[in-house]
Each structure stands twice: as structure tokens, then as C-alpha cells.
Structure 1
């Protein structure tokens, strides 16, 4: 975006007339290397078309679209004429803001300048200014705009009282980036004030970044005392900038329309808060001008509105700002309307006869449709909203050379490629018969539900059925249905209305948090595409009957669940992350997968030979005979090892020379504990207890948690259970525990930090674990501990529970430990080891924090390797500190199942490896392939390397 700087200002310029001023402006741009000489003619031609006088002694000359060929670089120059220049339209100009723009960036400058047009003294101050900084400051200092839009609304929140609604509204402002955590904390400590009409208010000034107003309404009727409770407004106040928001709120209450917000959707709420009454007559019209409502067409619109002699207001229909007077040039320009956007004009139906109001609205809409003095082209939404992607030159994939991707599901696959190209859904945007469109949508929703139900019945593995069941829930979401029906009522086709509802909901979910929720938004789009495909009768191409590796842009969970595992040898995608549901399902189905390989894999021809390495996240195109033979031998060896490992899965895990290393299973659900035992797990090394919290609409009570934990404990039949306390936060929020949006949730309020903010929830969980494990071994570990202070805070609570609960009613063989996920915990391991009972190293998070690489980053995640020597040194420090105090150390991250890493971890002294249940037999078999001396040698070798790649290379040579 163009910006104004003092260095761009020229003081004390003189010109005999406006033509001379334009010549001086052109010369200044040329001297600055921004344009060639031909741009001068463009300035004059543009001025001949219409005056560029903006107001308050300011003109903004710029070239025509044709003269852009003379622009060498985008820039701006400001020329001050203290004596003034008579402009050709009769105005007096003291400042030229002259723009050289290679596209429409001059519109950004125009919108920045509109704030000065309503200030009475600006013209005189610009003429008298004697410093460049003063002029730049006068032109650039825009008033802070207070925010009120759809992203600050939290409608239908499942709250129990006004305080919870206030906190939800404050959290929404935090998520929108308007306030900091201090604001949320301040709101939590105040009682909402009644405004009347079911509405309440909380305000705060601490921690305000941008003044804003949020509204949280209740999902069900509530009362506060004897008064109705519809919703709570939360005002982030700052100086006088929020005054306009308060005025809008007062106007709403004075109009008596506060009650109308009960159960209202976002569009209705924004209409009322925008100043449109329930009785207002409204009309919408699309902006057709190529460059939107810039100065010239905005003038024409204002003149058309003034000619009606009534108070017409206008706002962006898709936006959420206040409706402004259509007769104010500065306010119309400041809407920033672009081509294709809808303007909503309104008239209060109580002020004038309906017929007169309709005629006035029709007149201004007709003026917009006719182009407001400019030649315009019709707007073809299907073409302009679905423009083809610009052609990108993608280098062909090299043959017989391993290429990097992101490891998503372990295993090796050798097969020809089958490229699944994303289907294109062609459909009309508009439809004439809303009733018929609703019937079509209902039929598609029923068919989609039947498909999902069939897939759930066929699903293999717990994760598959659970995720597809979640898709069934999404498909029955009444808000999605209502949003689609509203679109149909406004004239949209069933396809367009449905997809708009899906995209709106998915975008809102992406805005709530970081990577994990963004990937769950992909689930929503997966559901949406299913129904869209039914409506459009688009079917995916049939894969070959022979085995193949599926190559695709990305895969939704239902795509993965449909796969015929007898034919699909592996998955390779251009996009996606290792934590997406599609990757989780691939692991559950035992299909090797590599993701995030880049768009060029989509250029592969069907039947191209591929080798896919899901362990390392690599793939090889058209391998040579030698490489293919080596891979086939490796695959044969792998299958043999898997068969042998399965047969020996119940044997005690130890190295070849008898050194004992326990192999346990990581579980995301207590129901899978029996399966883990049947696969040879010697215990559960990580039970992610958040599964039970995510499965309930509110925090599960003591009895519910006891029953869930006991299912796993009973299945283990005396084997130890290591349960991680609730690990949620900004990147994994709970719907009933709102957490303010954080710029980086991985460095924010999560894990034990979050749990300690609500100690009553943590206490209930600890009590449930202790009582469920009566007479059975229990290990409890705390996530995201950074130092001994956090551990002590939990230990105090834990010791109190041990005293309160009779020994006969709780676990007696119990330990309390911490996860080493934060580098500070590893560095301070000696102080922690003196007080904790054990350590469990979470290598996934420890690696990303140590290397400053998000393991889900599409470009960098391949570099997030736990075998990096820095990570290994942190593990070495942790083990040394623990063993010095007689404490044990486990590893529960993905590194524990990496065949190359297993001997290194054992050589570093790790006592337990906890892996996915499917990997238990293979890890046990891997331990039996080396002795302790070899493991220590490999650990020493790895620690001596400078990079993770060097570590892997050195270990492969051995």
C-alpha cells in the first residue's frame, strides 16, 4: 500500500496555473525515477476526463490506465503551493498528492486522505506549513477507527449467565486482535451493567489495541435477576475513538429494537447496529465500476442521492460497518467499495410514503448500475469469483532422485501413481424458484448423510469412525442449514447458497485459533464438497483396479476413509500437514503417507512409477532399476520383520544383550487400551486425557471421568498407566472454555499454564484419576512445564488429594512427573529431578521449540527433525539429571518409533519408549537388533554431528 513520508514532500512550489502544476508534478515523479516522460500526458489526460480535486485545497492527480506503461516504480510525491493554484473546476489548490501507481494503489491514498476533508482548518494549515514533516503528518494521521463487525460477534453462545457472556465477548475481541489478555482479565472481574431491553454492558480500557465493540448473545433464554438477558456488549474503550460505537448502541436502544437481537443472525444484528431499523426499506446493487467507488463515481452517486430529497443511507452489504449518509462524499469514498461488492441502500419506511421511498431507492440503484458516469461491464460472478489461477511455471520432477515432503504416516510403498485431480463444480449462482432449490438441498443433505452413515459402518479403526461421525454432526448443523436457506431466499441457487454457508463457517473456524483448528476447517469443507458434488452430480474418477499410490492436492477425511486399502499402497499430497485428520486416518489405516510435497506432484502422469517413504517423508519419481530393486528388497525385509515382530509382540522388550527398555503405547482414547495390550504394549506411556473433555459439551464431572479412565485401567490389567493431564489451549480450544486468541498460541496459554487458571477443573481430574486407579499403578504427568514452580503448584494440590482420599479408595502406587517439552525444562532438569517422580520427553514439541520450527509448517516441517543434535543434547541432559536422582525417563514423541532414532535414545539412557499402538511390535523388534554398547556408540556419534541431516547420514553409514 502506498504511504506518505516526509522525504516525498516538496515545499514552496509555484505554478502559473493548474497545467503548470501538473507539469511540475510530472517532472518531480520523473526526477525521482518513478516514471518516464510520457507519464506527463497521462496526468493531463486524466485531468481532462474529470477533476482530481478532492477537497480542503487538496488534489490528487494521477495517470490514466493507459499511462501505466510509463510507471517504472510505484510511488507518491507531495507538492505544496503556499500561494495556491486556481484549479480548472474553480477550486483553489495548495497541495498536490501526485501518484505513480502500477495498479489501483492510488485508491489506498485516496481513502487515507478522506479523513482530512471534514476538518475545517486543514487548507490553511497545509498552505502555511513550513516543514515537510508537518505536511506529511497532516495528510497521514488518520483517526483511529473503532471496530464493530461480524468477527466481533459471538452469537448463540452456550452461557449460563451474564458473566459468561461478557467473558465470551471479551474473548472474541481478543481473537479479533483488538485487545490483549489484560483486557479479558479485567472484564472477568466486573459485573455487567443493565442497559434495558435484555441487553447488558461491560467496558474496559486496559489492554486495548483497537477500540471495538463485541456482542455475545445466549443460545437459550436467560434471566439476570428479574430482568431478561438477551446479550452482553463488551466495549474496548480508547480515548474518544469508541464514542461512535456508543452512539450506535444508544441509537439502537432509543429505537426500542434491542429486543430484536434475541436469536438474531449476524446479518440482522449488523443491520440493527448499522442504524437500519426493522421497518427500513432496503435495496442492494452491485458496484460495476472497474476501480470501485473512487472519487469520480462517488461524486456521481452523491449527486444522485441528493437529487432524491430524502435521507438515503448506504453501507457495504458484505461488510459490517455503519450505514452512512449517501449524500456525504467523504463517507461514500471511505466505504472503499470495490468492483463486484454489493451496496445496501436504506430509507426509514416511517419517514416518507412507501411509493416515494421505493422510487428514491430505485433511482440511486439505477445510477449505480449505469456506471455513475463511467463505462462499465456486466459482472459475471461465476467468472470473476472463479478466475483461473495465474499460470505458474513448475519445474518437472527429477527422475530417480528422492524428493522431500512431510512424513505423515510410516511405511514404504512402491506402485504407479494415480493422480486424483480436484473436480470443478460448475453451477449457476442464481435460481428463480426458492422452493425448488430448498427441495434440492434437502435431498442432497439426506443423500450425503446416507453416504456418511455407510462409510461409518464400513470404517476400520476407531479414529476413522469417530471423525466420520463428526462429519455426520457437521452435516446436521442447523446453523449451516439456516444460512444456506437464507441465501436461497435471497435468490441464490442451492449450490451457491450451500457453499457460501460452508465457506463462511470454515473461515470463522480458521479465525478462532492456529493450525489445528485451521485443519478442522478442512473437515467442514470436506463435508461441504460432499453435498456440492451431489447437487452438481460430479463424481470422482474411478481409480485403477491394480495397486497404486494416490496423488492428490489434498484429501479430506472421507476421501481417506473411502480408500480401498487392498489397492492403495500409499498417499502423496501437494498440501496438508502431519496433524490433519487425513494424516491421522492414514496412520489409523496403516497406509504410508507423505504430505506437503508441493504443486508439482500434480503434474505427474498416471502410471508413473513411484517409491513413497512415509517414515522419512520422501518420494522418488521413475526410480532406476537399481533403486527400485533396493526398495523392493527393503519392502520385503520390512514385511518379514513385521510378521516376525507380530509373532513376538508379547515378549518382554530389551536389547540384544538383555538391557531392559519398556515399550508402551500412546493413546488418544481410553477405549483403545485393550487394542494396545493385544498389540504387545507393556503399558500406556501417554494417555491424552483431553479426549474426554472434547467429547462433552461442558467439563465432564467426577463420575464421568472416573468411568472413562477406569476403562483403560481395567484393560491394562495391572500394567502401568501414564496419564497426561488436560492439554488444551489456544491451538486446541474447548468450546466451553474460551481462550483469547493469541498471536502465537504455541507460546501462550496452554497445557499446565491453562489448567492452573482453573484449579477446580484440574483438581477434579486428578481426583478422578486417583480414584479410578484404585489398587493399580498410576503415573500422572503434567504438560508444558517450564520450571519447578509450576510443578510445585500442582504438587501442593496433588498432596492434598492424597490426604483427603482414603487409601482404600485411591491409587497407592502413584507417581507425579512432568513432560519435557520446553527447552527450559530440559536445561533446568536437575532442579526438577530433585522433586518429580519421572520425566517423559515429548519430542514433537521439544523439537519445534528448540529449533523454532512449527512442525506443521508447509515449507519448514520437513526440517523439524527430532534427531537434530540440539534436541538430542536436551534429552541427554534430561536423562543425566533424572538418573542422578534415581528417576526414570520415557520418550513419548514420534521420535520413539523412528527406527534410526531408537538405538540413539537407548544409548542416551532412555528407560521407556511410548509409541502408537501399531508401532509397538516393530519397536520391540528393533530393540532386539542391537546391544547397549552399540546404542551408546550411536548416541555418541549422533551428538558429534552439526545437523539432523548429518546425524541421519552418519547413522545410515553405520
Structure 2
């Protein structure tokens, strides 16, 4: 028996035979060509073929995993039309006089490295999307098949990494678990695993050449363990755990449609955090009461210019319409630090986490802010939309925000464009905001506590620095006292306060937060029913 360790992206257990998905050994060669026009024409034809394939994948995903999950393939089609991406391919062909396959592979590598170098997990995961569409283009250019393995029986899929195309083409009824060498907690595979309640491990240091399809294996997502040729003792333990988890899942499904209320009658809202419109299906699938954090920066990153008002409006409108009257809280642009957009020309900073980011960019470049606010207020006419502003440190910032908001409303009114008055809140993620929360509560409609940044700023610890992991304590008394202070400040003014950072999904603290008086927890969609169970069992 061999026991390999990895990082669990969905906790669960599985036992069965493995199916090893090995990538083609096709090597893209650099070939000098004379007729660049012919190569450019080949690229156009490959793009069209790829778009047709992606449309078929979209239709398949639509039936199997729903509209929001299928949207990834619409995004891939848009990526193929991205001006920066296309220009890069065309420039490489024209200036270097090389074959189309090489130009596409080089562009794919360059763009995916750009995303992979970002510190933000969500944006790093987008590197896989770029690789996926580039690999598809190369295969179409070279006449290779874009199909993946057919599964004859339920198996544990083992691979170096999995792309969205590969996961969607698989028969979902025949997947027991995913185990990959690479990948991230925000990759499409991880998201799909969480949505389907399939155990998944990433970062498993394994030699794929030494593993053989048909070998027995077990996955323990609770402890991040992958057993190859498990012993009888491990088999029995995993089998018992499988039965326990099956019973738990059946009980959790019975909680759908139920209220998040304690036995004593205390109610708390359970909302979902999402990174883009493509994640909406997970929100509905897991019965979230609304969206507590919609990260708008997905519209700004990975492109060569700012998104215009119409593009933003359509995305926000789709979000609120999909939620059919449930609250959708959209965070305004939170870019800078680990999330960069080259076209904003943000200078390299010594300490970007303490630098030019989020609301500071919006107030320094109000034309960017006003475009987003116009789109948000226009979308408010189509559903229950709220707005929250990140990285607030002073009441003066709120005054400036309110002045710009008033300008936007007057412009919309003058143009005859309908909008609703919406709830406006601020994120409490700096110690400064905590200390003046009593004053801020008089100026806004709600607070949403971003515990990730609040913890790193309070403890003076860079949460991206692995050397400091043992010092990073999100349960620190100082953090919990700050949360209590913010909740009390909000309630004194008749306002509500929620948590949208990772701490909100920590089951060890759910009872603590309810007793503190926290009104809302916004968490990953897969955690909604688990927290509902804890809340409903509280005295």
C-alpha cells in the first residue's frame, strides 16, 4: 500500500479503481514558413472549429450541470475573440514567420503565465482556461482529436491536471473522485467537485507513469490522503466512512428550503461568495439565501482595456435576474495588490497589500468608478441589488463615495434611465474601519467584515507567506473582539452586519458568530447546508 498526501478541495471519501488520464506527448515544433497569410488563415479556420466544439460542450454542460456552470464555455468562446490574444498570435506569425501551432502555443504559455503569477487564487485558476483554449486551437491546427477518455465504470480519475473541457466531457455518473498533481482550489475541476459533492485532491506528488488504470485506490478528502492498493484495514475504514457520508448528505438535502434559525428562534442569513456570473448555478444548487459577495473584478482582469458600462450592466443584470428577487451584494472594483490590470498602469510597489488598491483607485480615478456605478444602478432596476465598497479606512472616503453616487443618480435621472435606491454598505477589513465603525454605521446601510484582510492587517502577517503559517491565527482573540465591536456598532444604529471572509465558513465558529449577533454569513456555496445544520441544532 502507498499513501500519498494532497490538498483537499472537497471533503469526502471514495473507493474504486483508478483511471489515469495522460496528456498527449505532442510537442509543438517551431517551423519557419514563407506564406504568413496562409498561416493566419489556418488560425481563423481553427478558431471557427474551436468555437463550434465549445458550443457543443456548452449545450452538453447545460443539460448536465446547469446554465451557470455551462457559462465557462461561453467565456472560452469569448476568449478566442479577445483582441490581445488574437493580436499576439498574429504578431508572432507575421514578425517571426513561424507556423500557427507555435504562435498559438507561445501565446497560450505567455497569457497563462501572466495569470498564474498572480497571488489571487481565483485569478490563478484562470490560467487553466487560457491553456485549455490554446490546446484546443493547437489540436485543431494539427488535426488531433479533442476528445477525452470514455469511462466504462465508476472510477477515481487521476491526472496531472484537468481542464474544463475534459471534466465536462466525462460521464458524471462514473466519477468517484478527482486526484490531480496540479490545480488550485478555484480551478474548474475543484468547483465542479464541490458542486457535485465529489471528493477531490490536488497537489498530490505522484508519478503518473508508475500508476496504471485499473489499480484499486481510495481517497480520503477529510485528511487529504490518496491510497494506492489500500490494505484491507483501510478499505474497511473508507467503506464505513462512505456509508456515514451518504447518510449525512441525505440529511443535508432535507434541509433545502428550511430556515436558518436556531431552536431559540434566532435567525441568520446564509449567503454565497462567488467570483463571476459563471458561479451562479452553485448558489442556486446549494439553496443560498442570496449572494453576499459578488467579486466584480472578474470583468476587469485578463484584458487590455476597461470594461465599458454596457458590458458591466449586462453581467450585473444577469446576476440579479438569476437570483429572482434574492439579495445580490456586488463589491465594487477591488483591484491592485495581488490582482493587477496592466492597462491601469499601476506602478510596482514595495508593499502592494498596503498600496494603491480597491476604493483608493476608484476615488483617485473617479471616471472608472462612475462607469461601474452607472452599470450597477441600471442593473438595480432588474432585481434586489446592493453595493458594498472595499478597503474603507475613513469617514471622509464614505463622504466622497456618496458624492459620486449622487452625481451618477442625477445623470441617470436626467437621461431617463430607471434605477432603484439600493442598500449601500462598506467592507470592514482594516483595523481603522473597526475603530471608527460606530461613526461609519451612521453613514451606511450595512457592514460586511472581510476577515481575510482584517486578520493579516491586525496580526501584521502576510497571508501569502508560507513561512508565517504557524503565526497566522484567524481565531485570535483580537479578531473575534473586533468582529464583536463591528456588530455592536451596526446594531446601535439599527444596521446589519455580516461576514464574507473565509472565517465565516469555519464550522468551529458558527455558534460563536450567532451568539455575537452576526446577522449574515457569506460563504462558499458548498458550505451553506452544513452551516444551516449547525444553526438549526443550536439551542
Give the TM-score normalised by structure 1. 0.47
Q: Residue 167 of structure 1 aligns with which residue?
A: none
| Contact 2:272 2:290 (8 Å CA) reproduced | yes
Question: In the superposition, relative to structure 1, how do residues 840 and 544 fare at CA in structure 2: closer, same or farther (>3 Å)?
Answer: same
Q: Return the alpha-carbon distance in structure 1 between the equivalents of residues 44 and 311 of structure 2.
A: 37
Question: In the superposition, relative to structure 1, how do residues 420 and 818 fare at CA in structure 2: closer, same or farther (>3 Å)?
Answer: same
Compute the displacement of 1:654 (Å). 0.7
Q: Return the alpha-carbon distance in structure 1 between the equivalents of residues 146 and 410 of structure 2.
A: 63
| Contact 1:455 1:562 (8 Å CA) reproduced | yes
Q: Does residue 497 of structure 2 align to residue 889 of structure 1?
A: yes
Q: How far does the alpha carbon of each residue in 1:419-478 deviate from its partner, in whole angstroms, 9 at most, with x for none?
A: 434442246554788689948777765554443332222223445433333333444553
Counterpart secondary structure, 2:537: coil
Q: Residue 56 of structure 2 aligns with which residue?
A: 454
Compute the displacement of 1:656 (Å). 3.1
The within-5 A match list for 1:525-604 is: 525-533=131-139, 535=142, 537=144, 542=149, 544-588=151-195, 590-598=197-205
Worse-superposed segment, 638-647 or 860-869: 860-869
Q: Does residue 432 of structure 2 align to residue 819 of structure 1?
A: no
* Consecutive unaligned residues in structure 2, runs of 5 or more: none
Give 1:482's match in structure 2, choosing from 76, 90, 98: 90
The within-5 A match list for 1:502-901 is: 502-507=108-113, 519-533=125-139, 535=142, 537=144, 542=149, 544-588=151-195, 590-598=197-205, 606=213, 607-613=215-221, 618-621=224-227, 625=232, 628-669=235-276, 676=283, 680-690=287-297, 698-701=306-309, 709-713=316-320, 716=323, 718-729=325-336, 731-733=338-340, 737-742=344-349, 745-766=352-373, 769-770=376-377, 772-773=379-380, 779-798=386-405, 811-812=420-421, 814-826=422-434, 829-833=437-441, 835-847=443-455, 852-854=461-463, 866=474, 871-901=479-509
Question: In the superposition, relative to structure 1, how do residues 579 and 787 fare at CA in structure 2: closer, same or farther (>3 Å)?
Answer: farther
Q: Residue 532 of structure 2 aligns with which residue?
A: 924
* Consecutive unaligned residues in structure 1, runs of 5 or more: 1-395, 932-958
Q: Return the alpha-carbon distance in structure 2 between the equivalents of residues 874 and 866 of structure 1.
A: 12
Compute the displacement of 1:630 (Å). 4.8
Question: In the superposition, relative to structure 1, how do residues 920 and 575 fare at CA in structure 2: closer, same or farther (>3 Å)?
Answer: same
Counterpart secondary structure, 1:687: strand
Compute the displacement of 1:912 (Å). 1.0
| Contact 1:671 1:712 (8 Å CA) reproduced | no
Question: In the superposition, relative to structure 1, how do residues 771 and 465 fare at CA in structure 2: closer, same or farther (>3 Å)?
Answer: closer
Give the TM-score normalised by structure 2. 0.77
Structure with the higher helix share, 1 or 2: 2
Q: Return the alpha-carbon distance in structure 2 between the equivalents of residues 418 and 863 of structure 1.
A: 40
How many aligned positions are there? 524
From the CA coordinates, give the structure whose radius of gyration is larger. Answer: 1
Q: Return the alpha-carbon distance in structure 1 between the equivalents of residues 471 and 33 of structure 2.
A: 54
Counterpart secondary structure, 1:905: helix
The within-5 A match list for 1:41-52 is: none
Q: Return the alpha-carbon distance in structure 1 between the equivalents of residues 330 and 252 of structure 2.
A: 27
Compute the displacement of 1:782 (Å). 1.1
Q: Residue 420 of structure 1 aligns with which residue?
A: 21
Q: Return the alpha-carbon distance in structure 2 between the equivalents of residues 627 and 870 of structure 1.
A: 42
| Contact 1:816 1:838 (8 Å CA) reproduced | yes
Q: Return the alpha-carbon distance in structure 1 between the equivalents of residues 410 and 392 of structure 2.
A: 24
* Structure with greater contact order relative to length (CA < 8 Å, sep ≥ 6): 2
Give 1:500's match in structure 2, choosing from 86, 89, 106: 106
Q: Does residue 73 of structure 2 align to residue 468 of structure 1?
A: yes
| Contact 1:488 1:497 (8 Å CA) reproduced | no
Q: How far does the alpha carbon of each residue in 1:846-895 deviate from its partner, in whole angstroms, 9 at most, with x for none?
A: 4555563546x799889978556665454344334434554322122344
Q: How far does the alpha carbon of each residue in 1:395-433 deviate from its partner, in whole angstroms, 9 at most, with x for none?
A: x9547xxx352x434554444443434442246554788
Q: How far does the alpha carbon of each residue in 1:328-362 deviate from its partner, in whole angstroms, 9 at most, with x for none?
A: xxxxxxxxxxxxxxxxxxxxxxxxxxxxxxxxxxx
| Contact 1:574 1:602 (8 Å CA) reproduced | no
Question: In the superposition, relative to structure 1, how do residues 557 and 732 fare at CA in structure 2: closer, same or farther (>3 Å)?
Answer: farther
| Contact 1:776 1:811 (8 Å CA) reproduced | no
